[in-house]
Structure 1
Amino acid sequence: MHTLIASPFLDDHLLLRPGSTQGLRIGERRFKELAAANSPCPPWLVDAVGRRWPDLQLAGRRVDEVVLVRQASPFGYGRASYELNLGCNYDCEHCYLALKKFDGLPWPDRKRLLHVMRDAGVLWLQLTGGEPLIDKLFPDVYRLAYELGMMISVSSNGSRLPNRSILDLLTTLRPYRLTISVYGATAESYDSLTRRPGSFAKFQRGLLAAHEAGLPLNLNLIVTQHNAHEHDAMIDMADRLGLPHHVFSNMSPTIYGGAESLPAQSREYLRKRKPFTGCNAGHTFFHVDPHGQASICKVGRDPQIPLLAEGVDGLARLRSIADKLLLRQGGCTGCGLQGTCGTCMPLVTLYRKANAPLASYCQHGPDRRDQQRR
């Protein structure tokens, strides 16, 4: 198994180490040198790796023994997310997936799909769900993505991390990042949100097991009406463990435009979003659902491209789809405050389908009305 990955990434060339958040820019000339090498590691590589990762000693070792060199892709996609399955062992009221059906591809199709993503240039891959760790094919997907030279992030509720086989896999083939969602600081609030008695205890065991194993953890702190009073306690939990964290408090409609997730919103923690000035969805990033349908992101899911039927060539249409989906339309087209709007158009579309209150996604309604009167 490789120790390092050399890969084109957008307009750059990188040297990465699985499980490490650090990397090196090596430039096109040195990348090509590694791609052509079947000889001992060159001095510049030995020195650079020794400085960046002192525990790695490459002197006397062959390039092809330690470095997986990825080929350049004409498609230019550097990142992707892959929903293995929408199924979950929790039933969180705020969940944007709504139905959460246990329904994913068989292994031969998942194998083809991962090769398509590799051929598209995907270097960073997020494995998500549902809850990806309860998917019976998670170990196979994870292992193949790793073998194909992808830097893997896993998004999980943490409940399956005490499982010995899962923990052994993640500590042997280390992810780039393991992100765990936090739904409360006590069993009362946590179990109330997940609607699964005992889920807080499972989360605690999983978090501690991963932390003790030294996995690269990040916490997503989910603030809703059920646990808003524990906002500070969740932050204290992350700080005690010395873990980076992000607070998510704005509830979204479901991926089908349903409103059932919106009542979980804590009005106190409805945050004003930063101005949306565009993103790389559909251009350098794409999303794949459990059936192999590619879209620009997890929110803008329609139109989709059937990757198993069309292969990597189907992604050629994704950029034009992204440009159309991100255009302001409907009630937003005449708004003179679009430059400070914090909600992208695909998300606005879902809010509208859900008949959500304007204040939940349009954060300058009164200012807009004043401007229109003038």
Structure 2
Amino acid sequence: MHSLIASPFLEDHLLVRPGARGGFMLPAHRYEELRAHDGAGSGPAWLVDAVRGQWPDLDPTGPLGGYLLVRRPSAWGYSRASWEINLGCNYKCKHCYLGLKVNSGMPLADKLQCLQIMAEAGVLWLQITGGEPTVDKDFIASYRAAYSLGMMITVSTNASLLWRQNLLDLFRECPPYRVTVSMYGATKASYDELTQRQGAWDVFVQGMNAARRARLPLRMSVIVTEDNAAEEQSMIDLCQGWGLEYNVFTNMTPTIYGGAESLTAQSKEHLRLRKPFGGCNAGHTFFHTDPHGLVSICKIGRDDQISLPSEGIDGLARLGAIADRLMLRTGGCTGCQLSGTCTVCRPLAKHYQEAKAPLGSYCQHGIKKAG
């Protein structure tokens, strides 16, 4: 199994290592040199020196094909993707934007086909999410397939199963780029209440202890809601005590179906004014795939989905135009004089409108009126 990946990335080329943050840009002629190598002999001297300087624990003196995977160029120009392997979850979090947790999805053969298409489209960074991805029966096989295709994988999880030896073995053999863990409280009472599962705190702690012992590349997402609002600092203190990076999330969003039930978990005292939306490359260099292989521009803008199992990679040709149309300020935002400084994209604003959310939770007009 490879330890390094040389890959095109948008207009550039990168040398990266699964499980590691560091990496460096490759001039085009260096990438082509690696691509033309037969893999049987040792790597070029410049590569050996670069690897020793960046990753001293990695031995680059053997056959190049024994540790380096060179990815082919893609004509499609995508570099990142997210994939909901399943919407099923072992928690029932009050704030979850997915709404109903349904254990459904594609058979393994279709999952592997979709991953192959993602790689062909140029995806280097892949986020595997859910629901809770590790509860999916095909998670390990799918993860291994994505790794073998040369993807730098982020797993978004609640950590409840990270103590399992089969997962720890998987991550040791095929290191993830990052494991992002959602944190729902600093005490058993608040954690179990928000997740609506008795014993959730206990398995979270068990999973975190195992993940830290295994030195997984963890980053915490601290979720602040009505149930745990008094524990915001305590959650931060735990992250800092563990020596882990963290981000704090306080603004809840409607469900992907436009439902308002997730908004009831919002702590009004913790609502934060978002930064003005400056645009994004959703649909152009990034896309999202749901459990049935339906591609959308992102997790929020799920209109006009494209079926990878049915249409194959050629279906992605329509995605850019779909993205441009979905980002237009239409519907309830038509003619808005403040659209240039709006803090949410149009697809997210549409979800808030469908959920009949208070205007002040997402729109400048409501914020100004409340102020």
TM-score of the aligned structures, taking structure 1 as reference length:
0.97
Partner residue of 1:74? 75
How far, CA to CA, are the matches of 2:366 and 2:357 in structure 1?
14
How far, CA to CA, are the matches of 1:34 and 1:210 in structure 2?
35
Matched, 1:159 2:160: yes
- Classify the secondary structure of the residue corresponding to 1:153: strand
Give the number of aligned pairs: 369
**Percent of paired sites with the same residue:** 58
- Written as runs of structure 1 = structure 2, the 5 A alignment for 1:277-356 is 277-356=278-357
TM-aligned CA distance change 1:48 to 1:301, over 3 Å:
same
TM-aligned CA distance change 1:186 to 1:23, over 3 Å:
same
Tell me by how many angstroms 1:366 deviates: 5.6
Partner residue of 1:255? 256
- Written as runs of structure 1 = structure 2, the 5 A alignment for 1:1-374 is 1-38=1-38, 39-59=41-61, 61-365=62-366, 367=368
Tell me by how many angstroms 1:334 deviates: 2.3
TM-aligned CA distance change 1:64 to 1:249, over 3 Å:
same
Cα deviation code 1:79-114 (max 9, x no counterpart): 000101000000011111111100011111111111
Aligned residue type for 1:313: D
Aligned residue type for 2:175: R
- Classify the secondary structure of the residue corresponding to 2:191: helix
Aligned residue type for 1:69: V
Tell me by how many angstroms 1:65 deviates: 1.9
Tell me by how many angstroms 1:363 deviates: 3.4
Alignment check: 8 A CA contact 1:112 1:308 kept: yes
TM-score of the aligned structures, taking structure 2 as reference length:
0.97
Tell me by how many angstroms 1:330 deviates: 2.5
Alignment check: 8 A CA contact 1:21 1:176 kept: yes
Cα deviation code 1:228-267 (max 9, x no counterpart): 0000000000000110000111111000001111110100
Tell me by how many angstroms 1:368 deviates: 7.8
Provide structure 2 residue ranges, at least 5 long, that are not aligned to the other structure: none
Provide structure 1 residue ranges, at least 5 long, that are not aligned to the other structure: none
TM-aligned CA distance change 1:369 to 1:249, over 3 Å:
closer
Query: More deviation in 4-13 or 38-47?
Result: 38-47
Aligned residue type for 2:45: P
How far, CA to CA, are the matches of 1:325 and 1:265 in structure 2?
27
- Classify the secondary structure of the residue corresponding to 1:214: coil
How far, CA to CA, are the matches of 2:269 and 2:287 in structure 1?
33
Cα deviation code 1:191-219 (max 9, x no counterpart): 00000010001001101110111000000
Alignment check: 8 A CA contact 2:359 2:365 kept: no
Aligned residue type for 2:355: A
Aligned residue type for 2:139: F
How far, CA to CA, are the matches of 1:220 and 1:3 in structure 2?
28
Aligned residue type for 1:277: G
How far, CA to CA, are the matches of 1:194 and 1:363 in structure 2?
31
Tell me by how many angstroms 1:327 deviates: 1.1
Tell me by how many angstroms 1:57 deviates: 2.3
How far, CA to CA, are the matches of 1:331 and 1:118 in structure 2?
38
